[in-house]
Structure 1
């Protein structure tokens, strides 16, 4: 059966484990992707729906198929990655597909989180915070997002031309560390993550709120396909080898 997240967060909602670090790999589009990621050491798989023009956008029928495939692995938690902002639409989608993790990847306001929390009390709600030019775009709203019921934040880049999601642009550790005192929820780190730049984030990894990383490009080969060696290298670099073995 799919692994249940561990202890509860301050708001009382189920989310990622308090101590275990996870590797989330984004952009699966086929059952073969799911098989590769599960075997190579990923913990969560991002499946896209409601991401206009996204390279991994899925119609609902295919989304449902991949969610079921992820659950069938016994280790992968499927995570909806979406720009959608209608909580009724999102709640209905979650119920129909069996999704429990929802990642709001655009600029959905705190009331959307609150409505989703009311509609899906057992869901894991992930809100992306975008850093651009060293500053967090949503900084004034962080407290409101937390009060609305956010379980996890995901810290990612927004480019100067406004692109968000799977940009491959790295976050500065200095900028991330400057933001962390504002958070009372745990967080995942995204943005150009690779096995080689793990030492550049020692301070972030040591933070008690750090729960793992979210990767897309760094999990792929030169042809853009998911690569088992690349995923395993990410898992080993960002978690200890012991924790990787224990997660199997």
Structure 2
């Protein structure tokens, strides 16, 4: 079985790029959402992308953003993956896919019930992300995952301490960590390193 990948999300400071370069996660995420305290402008994201090692794929996180804005960031290679975190439906995803036929598209779902999981199961996105909410930093009821048959990205409340349990129980395609690697609301070098080490130590899974 392939190793679970890890994404460190919500980078917005130059030192955040240094932290991920040192830890070398698989993905680094930029949040393009004005209401988020981790929001970055296209210009800030462009500088971060230039500073981050090329082998670390960058993910743009959007909440009901205009298609044209997403496309521009992808075409200029600021981001390599599109993550949709709002009310975007399959129709929007198909429009985006027609506009960016080579882009990998992830769709996030707030998991509160088996019905929410069914929506994720049926999504036409390339990958689905299961979350508790929009940046709450808490886990949802993991027992609901058992009924999902497609590969998924697990988010919400993950920390270096509980990542091994999540990986051993559910073997997700990837884990997405943000507040769990922060101290006082800012990314922490040691916590990022610990989260990546927690994944690397699970190679057998």
Once the two structures are superposed, what CA deviation does each residue of 1:80-102 show, in whole Å capped at 9, x if it has no partner? 01103432332123213542211
Unaligned runs of 5+ in 1: 1-17, 159-163, 244-248
Show the counterpart of 2:20: 37
For residues 153 and 233 of structure 1, what CA distance do their matches in structure 2 show?
Answer: 25
Cα displacement (A) at 1:40? 1.8
Could you tell me how far 1:215 is from its partner in structure 2?
0.5
Work out whether 1:23 is the aligned partner of 2:12.
Answer: no
TM-score normalised by the chain length of structure 2:
0.88
8 Å CA contact retained: 1:173, 1:203: no
- Alpha-carbon distance change, 130 to 97 in structure 1, aligned in 2, over 3 angstroms: same
Asked if residue 196 in structure 1 is aligned to residue 161 in structure 2, the reply is yes
- Work out the CA distance in 1 between the residues paired with 2:65 and 2:117: 16
Aligned to 2:44: 62
CA RMSD of aligned residues (A): 2.2
3-state SS of the aligned residue for 2:173? strand
- Residue 107 of structure 1 is matched in structure 2 by 87
Structure 1 residues 141 and 20, CA, compared in 2 at 3 Å: closer, same or farther? closer
Q: Give SS of 2:130's match.
A: strand
What is the alpha-carbon distance in structure 2 between the residues aligned to residue 141 and residue 213 of structure 1? 16
189-198 vs 86-95, which moves further: 86-95
Whether the 8 Å contact between 1:110 and 1:141 is mirrored in structure 2 is no
Residue in 2 that maps onto 1:120: 100
- 1:218 equivalent to 2:188? Answer no
* Number of residue pairs the alignment of both structures matches: 203
TM-fit CA distance, 1:117: 1.1
Q: 4+ residue stretches of structure 1 with deviation over 4 A?
A: none
136 and 240 in structure 1: CA distance in 2 versus 1, 3 angstrom threshold: farther
In the alignment, the residues of structure 1 paired with residue 117 and residue 72 of structure 2 have an alpha-carbon distance, to the nearest angstrom, of 27
- The separation in 2 between residues aligned to 1:193 and 1:156, in whole angstroms, is 10
1:241/1:169 CA distance change after superposition, 3 Å: closer
TM (norm. structure 1) is: 0.74
